[in-house]
Amino acid sequence: MGDDFPPMRSVKRWLVTTNHKDVGMLYLSTALFFLVFGGVMALLFRAHLWQSGGAGLLTDSTYNQAVTSHGLLMVFWFLSPFAAGFANYFVPLQIGAKDLAFPRLNALSYWFYLFSGVLLMISFFIGGTFEGGWTMYAPLNVPAYTPFEATAGGTATILALMMFTLSITFGTINFLTTIHRQRAEGLGLWNMPLFTWSWLLTAWMMLFAFAALLAALLLLAIDRVMLTQYFGAGEGSSLLWAHIFWFFGHPEVYIVFFPALGIMFETFQTFTGRRLVGRKWVIIAMVLVTVQSFLVWMHHMFLTTINLEIKTLFMATTIGISLPFDLMVFALIYTMIKGRVRFTTPFLFSLGALVLFILGGITGVFLGAVVLDYEFRGTYWVVAHFHYVMVSGVTALIAGLYYWWPKITGKMYDETLGKLNFAVYFVGFNLLYFPMFLAWETPRRVFHFAEGMTMYHQMATVGAFVFGASFLIMFYTLGKSLVSGPDAPDNPWEFSRTAEWTIPSPPPLENWDGRPSYATGRLEFVEEKHTATDGGTGINTIEESNAVLDAHEHEEEHADHASIWPLGIGFGTFVMFLGISGLGPYVARFANAQGANVDGFGDPNIVYPILAVTGLGLLLYFLWQFGMEEFQAPKMEVAERWPFEGVDNGKFGIWVFLASDVVVFGAALGAFIFMRLHTGWADWTIVPPAAWPGLLNTYVLLTSSFTVILALVMAERGNKKGLLATLTATLMLGFTFMGVKAWEYNAKFAEGDYWFTGLEYSIYYVTTGLHGLHVLLGLLVAGFMIYKIILYDAYLDDHRPVEYFGLYWHFVDIVWVFLFPLFYLM
Amino acid sequence: MTSPIKPPEGNWWDQTVNRRESIWLGLGVVWSLVLFGWMSIWTRTGDQNPIGETYQVSESEFREKMNAYEEAAEETEQGLVPEGTDVYMAGIRFAWDGAPVVLEAGTQYDFHLSSYDVQHGFSLRPEATLSKQINLQVLPGYEWVVPMTFDEPGTYHIICNEFCGEGHRSMHDTIIVTEEN
């Protein structure tokens, strides 16, 4: 299949590709599109802010929409995916891998990203996009407080973000597996290039932080579509939302900034010709930040009603997290002092990023103090501070674009134009954001300001357009390079030492000519004969580690790079989510027929249910095809995998996925405990009709955990009948579980207790329903496996998929072990 | 030129830390602790923005309190004049219940803040210097009691500082502070 892989100029190539470099380019160009989109939104409201009270460009509602979507677009659809583009392209190259561990999953994560963006754009045209700010604070985010014509659009925004979150999770699993398991021989963690280090830590943060966001969005989407009451007014919902959102939201700051930091480290090393000063300590500092990033979230809530002791504690952790950053900043400055600086375009951008980051960082320290926050919060001080930090990240990412552009395209750009770009960029940036510090008293979320501030706001608006123009220069520079730039050498930067510069620009499809290895302490390419399919004589016997290769594995030398099904799955999910966004009115009608009193919804529109069902059908079909496809991911027989030598790629991926799922369930259970404590633990209504169905289901699930272990034993023995019997038993036990669940729900419905009846009911139905959904997914997988065993004798030679399924199934059982006492007994 | 990939010479990991470096690190740690302690103590005992106490309250309970308060207060041309030193105020899309209110300079009032619907932002700004502000997040389901003293007489603006819907930017009211009697 590798042979008929379409060429670069064919459209088909870009629809089917799973190659990490192609996906990287797709990510980069899509992210740049969303940068322009989010930027135009910003120009719109900056122009509107020309005078206090607005220049008449936007209405109250459209202003809110523009501000909200600007935030969402830049934080989610531009910053992280742009960094993900570089990571896709260069992390495998830097660690000496042929591709990511799961190439199809990589393509899937891109398509989820693209289609989530499309869904967001559609939301503007179905009544208006979400307009409650990018933080989506409760309870403004529920339909009761949304104009009814805008509920579908608002829900589409939430679902788009959910889809984006899924995309991130797929990518995360992939990168963690790749970096931990596919490093070239001899490349220990300490010696890993710093961009890869920064991305590794970013991925770990994303894994847990985005899982919390996924949980929050899931609950919110269910609130908006199914009319549950997590975030309805009153019962502590605003604090609940703020906790879950900021538990994601603060690590997100570092998620966005770390890749930029990694690029700064790389470019500083290259253009000063020095190893980064304090390299080991920089890595340790980054690890510290990664851990600590999950312990500072409440500083976003200093002005809510949490108590002073907790505020003080979070003040301390917040000031504490600035210390590792001080170390990194000093390391960068000292590297410049000890090295010989060459002021190329990428270095200028990186240096600019450092200057801006220092300004942004220092202005942030003020905000870390509780008492100062009373003065600063909700003002342009905050706006200026986080734009200095975030857009300094953008500056470093642009540095990365100029740094790696010759490698990606094989063309050089005009250095003078690049420097001009930097000059305009830097002037525009400061003209845009610095006046915001001067006009800091301006309240953040309205277009009114004191007359005396007009000059600063007009300066900022002019700056915004200058800043925007710098991107036009960038596009011109890069476009010109693409059309008529001179060819780039393998390594145009002289002192860059990471592995991507040792191969041609642009790199060939298979990346390496020979196997990269650091076994001797420096990068070398070990000769391997590629035509070994005739009998396995091509193994280089000098390399001792090559002994692990056996002839069987060597036959699968050629790797696939194409699959159309990820695109299909993305499209199916997109259609389904678009459909779901307009189902609210139907549920409202149903609820009203059951005696609930729901308003705030318009008339139902038949298009939405049709879309939802069509999308689900497409999704299932494409998932099926995806599962049936024979796909050979590029293999890495010899690799540095410490400390995960004993865990194969698939198992590692499953473990990582389960870790993120723990956070999803943790957030859902946390929401339950939070709300129950708020209501008063003893005042809570116990919803299930009796404890025995829960107990029965506990026995059923634990038994099924046992049968799934037996299935693994049978697969290891190669016993087809035994494998079929045990898997079928597992499937049947799963059905029994679902049957008991259905009976239980039915008994409640018969009493007139639905998920919209009250908070306790919402939480009961949603939490057990979320678990039920996991069981259902497990059943689908089990059914699919049984089908493959019957038809293709699958898993008898390779029992690993049975083991992976077993891990997932045990996890689902363990979750139930927590749900049962919490919901049925306490 | 050493390579960024190549580790430095010798046993760099176990190298002993220079004594002067240890002293500097120690000083850094001590100084951080001093700063943390200072910040925390200053927040509590320094003459800083008041933090106040928060209580859980349902919407109807707060409405009852508000009714009782409004009944006891004196209705004037400029606004309510509260009976004692408790002042109640609640955000409701897109207005402030309990405002405008007439208060005296120099007296310490207890502001009871809550919301009837969504989150609102309570940003209080003197008219002459709109830059001086105090800013609280007002959440439904919680009553926040914040002690406040107005030093200067004059008009103070209450601006909603959190997105609360389409009419958010028009959500504004005033507190009139009169001379000390």
List the structure tokens of A115: 């289609």
List the structure tokens of B47: 């003459």
Cβ atoms of A413 and A346 within 8 Å: the answer is no
List the structure tokens of A622: 């494409």
Helix (H, G, I), strand (E, B) or coil at A765: helix
Cβ atoms of A554 and A538 within 8 Å: the answer is yes
Gap between the Cα atoms of A567 and A615, Å rounded: 13
CATH number at residue B158: 2.60.40.420
Cβ atoms of A429 and A356 within 8 Å: the answer is yes
Q: Which domain holds residue B150?
A: 53-178
Amino acid at A43: L
| Residue B143, H or E segment | strand B142-149
- The C-alpha torsion from A478 through A482 and A485 to A490, rounded to 10°, is 100
Specify the pLDDT at position A580.
Answer: 96
Beta-carbon separation of B135 and A190 below 8 A? no
Cβ atoms of A572 and A112 within 8 Å: the answer is no
What residue of B is the nearest CA neighbor of A451? Answer: B130
Average pLDDT, integer, range A556-576: 89
How many structural domains are present in chain B? 1
Q: How far is CA A471 from CA A361, A429, A457, A465, A476, in A?
A: 25, 11, 21, 10, 8
- Whether residue B37 is contained in a domain is answered as no
Q: How far is CA A414 from CA A239, A488, A815, in A?
A: 52, 12, 58
Specify the pLDDT at position A532.
Answer: 43
Those of residues 698-757 in A touching chain B at CB distance below 8 A are none
Beta-carbon separation of B44 and A441 below 8 A? no
Contacts for A606-613 with beta carbons within 8 Å, 24 or more apart?
A607/A582, A608/A152, A608/A578, A608/A579, A608/A580, A608/A581, A608/A582, A608/A583, A609/A579, A609/A583, A610/A579, A611/A575, A611/A576, A611/A578, A611/A579, A611/A582, A612/A576, A612/A579, A612/A580, A612/A583, A613/A579
User: B-chain residues within 8 Å CB-CB of A304?
Assistant: 137, 139
pLDDT digits (tens, 9 = 90+) for A799-812: 999 999 999 999 99
Cβ atoms of A560 and A633 within 8 Å: the answer is yes
With a cut of 90, say whether residue A171 has pLDDT above it: yes
Those of residues 449-488 in A touching chain B at CB distance below 8 A are 450
Comparing CA positions, the residue from A356, A354, A363 lying closest to residue A382 is: A363
- Whether residue B63 is contained in a domain is answered as yes
- Whether residue B106 is contained in a domain is answered as yes
- Whether residue B59 is contained in a domain is answered as yes
User: A-chain residues within 8 Å CB-CB of B159?
Assistant: 443, 446
Other Cβ atoms less than 10 A from the Cβ of A382: the count is: 19
| Phi and psi angles of residue B95, each rounded to the nearest 5 degrees, phi first | -150, 170
Specify the pLDDT at position A1.
Answer: 43
CA distance A427 to chain B (A): 27
Comparing CA positions, the residue from A198, A343, A199 lying closest to residue A276 is: A198
Q: Which residues of A608-617 are buried (b: 16+ CB within 10 A; e: fewer)?
A: beebbeebbe
- Whether residue B92 is contained in a domain is answered as yes
What residue of B is the nearest CA neighbor of A231? Answer: B118
What residue of A is the nearest CA neighbor of B42? Answer: A371
CA contacts within 13 A on the Cβ side of A461? 18
Cβ atoms of A678 and A236 within 8 Å: the answer is yes
Beta-carbon separation of A132 and B163 below 8 A? yes
- Measured between CB atoms, which of A443, A497, A498 is closest to B159? A443
Gap between the Cα atoms of B73 and B87, Å rounded: 10
Gap between the Cα atoms of A8 and A22, Å rounded: 9
pLDDT band at A535 (very low <50, low <70, confident <90, very high): very low
CA contacts within 13 A on the Cβ side of B111? 26
Helix (H, G, I), strand (E, B) or coil at B17: coil
Average pLDDT, integer, range A531-551: 42
- Whether residue B147 is contained in a domain is answered as yes
List the structure tokens of A492: 């145009």
Comparing CA positions, the residue from A773, A801, A774 lying closest to residue A788 is: A801
CA distance A787 to chain B (A): 50
Helix (H, G, I), strand (E, B) or coil at A17: strand
Gap between the Cα atoms of A349 and A596, Å rounded: 58
Beta-carbon separation of A497 and B3 below 8 A? yes
User: A-chain residues within 8 Å CB-CB of B34?
Assistant: none
Tell me which range, A125-139, A478-492, B126-140, is most confidently predicted by mean pLDDT: A478-492
Specify the pLDDT at position A712.
Answer: 94
User: B-chain residues within 8 Å CB-CB of A301?
Assistant: 137
**CB distance from A191 to chain B under 8 Å?**
yes
Gap between the Cα atoms of A545 and B111, Å rounded: 74
Those of residues 422-441 in A touching chain B at CB distance below 8 A are 440-441
Gap between the Cα atoms of A10 and B103, Å rounded: 74
List the structure tokens of A46: 């900056």
Gap between the Cα atoms of A352 and A411, Å rounded: 24
Cβ atoms of A284 and A225 within 8 Å: the answer is no
Parallel, antiparallel, or unpaired: how do β-strands B86-92 and B95-97 relate?
A: antiparallel
Gap between the Cα atoms of A799 and A646, Å rounded: 16
3-state secondary structure A506-569: CCCCCCCCCEEECCCCCCEEECCCCCCCCCCCCCCCCCHHHHHCCHHHHCCCCCCCECCHHHHH
Other Cβ atoms less than 10 A from the Cβ of A662: the count is: 15
pLDDT digits (tens, 9 = 90+) for B83-119: 899 999 999 988 999 989 999 999 999 999 999 988 9
CA distance B108 to chain A (A): 18
Which is more confident, B34 or A612?
A: A612
Specify the pLDDT at position A513.
Answer: 87
Portion of chain A with pLDDT greater than 70, in percent: 95
User: B-chain residues within 8 Å CB-CB of A279?
Assistant: 4
With a cut of 60, say whether residue A453 has pLDDT above it: yes
Specify the pLDDT at position A547.
Answer: 43
pLDDT digits (tens, 9 = 90+) for B165-180: 888 888 999 999 998 8
CA angle A199, A205, A211 (to 5 degrees): 130
Q: How far is CA B50 from CA A375, A627, B150, in A?
A: 11, 61, 13
User: A-chain residues within 8 Å CB-CB of B44?
Assistant: 308
Average pLDDT, integer, range A330-344: 91
- Whether residue B66 is contained in a domain is answered as yes
List the structure tokens of A481: 């390079």
Q: Domains of chain A (ranges plus CATH)?
A: 17-252+503-510+558-682 (1.20.210.10), 685-826 (1.20.120.80)
- Measured between CB atoms, which of A193, A374, A440 is closest to B135? A374
Cβ atoms of A560 and A510 within 8 Å: the answer is no
Sign of CA dihedral A240, A243, A249, A251: negative
pLDDT band at B4 (very low <50, low <70, confident <90, very high): very low
Those of residues 11-70 in B touching chain A at CB distance below 8 A are 13, 32, 35-36, 39-40, 42-44, 46, 48-49, 51, 54, 56, 58-59
What residue of A is the nearest CA neighbor of B138? Answer: A304
CA distance B177 to chain A (A): 20
Average pLDDT of chain A is: 91
**CB distance from A374 to chain B under 8 Å?**
yes
Those of residues 69-88 in B touching chain A at CB distance below 8 A are none
CA distance B113 to chain A (A): 11
With a cut of 70, say whether residue A97 has pLDDT above it: yes
pLDDT digits (tens, 9 = 90+) for A383-396: 999 999 999 999 99
ipTM: 0.79
Comparing CA positions, the residue from A9, A230, A57, A34 lying closest to residue A113 is: A34
CA B118 to chain CA mean position, Å: 18
Cβ atoms of A279 and A193 within 8 Å: the answer is no
Q: How far is CA B97 from CA A107, A148, A786, B79, B172, in A?
A: 54, 25, 64, 12, 11
Which is more confident, A365 or A210?
A: A210
Beta-carbon separation of A303 and B165 below 8 A? no
Average pLDDT, integer, range A212-226: 95
With a cut of 50, say whether residue B76 has pLDDT above it: yes
Q: List CB contacts of B68: < 8 A, sequence separation 6 or more.
A: none
Those of residues 234-253 in A touching chain B at CB distance below 8 A are 234-239
Parallel, antiparallel, or unpaired: how do β-strands B95-97 and B74-75 relate?
A: unpaired
What residue of B is the nearest CA neighbor of A187? Answer: B5
Peptide bond into B7 cis (omega under 30): no
| Residue B80, H or E segment | strand B80-81
Q: Which of A264, A371, A677 should we substitute to test contact with B (largest number of B Cβ atoms within 10 Å)?
A: A371
Beta-carbon separation of A518 and B5 below 8 A? yes
List the structure tokens of A351: 């240096």
Beta-carbon separation of B40 and A495 below 8 A? no
pLDDT band at A770 (very low <50, low <70, confident <90, very high): very high
Specify the pLDDT at position B7.
Answer: 52
Cβ atoms of B148 and B108 within 8 Å: the answer is yes
Q: How far is CA A491 from CA A91, A150, A573, A795, B76, in A?
A: 17, 53, 42, 46, 80
- Whether residue B82 is contained in a domain is answered as yes
Gap between the Cα atoms of A155 and A583, Å rounded: 10
Gap between the Cα atoms of A64 and A72, Å rounded: 12
**CB distance from A291 to chain B under 8 Å?**
no
Rg (CA), chain B: 25
What residue of A is the nearest CA neighbor of B37? Answer: A316
List the structure tokens of A354: 């450092």
| Phi and psi angles of residue B155, each rounded to the nearest 5 degrees, phi first | -95, 135
Cβ atoms of A708 and A795 within 8 Å: the answer is no
Other Cβ atoms less than 10 A from the Cβ of B70: the count is: 14
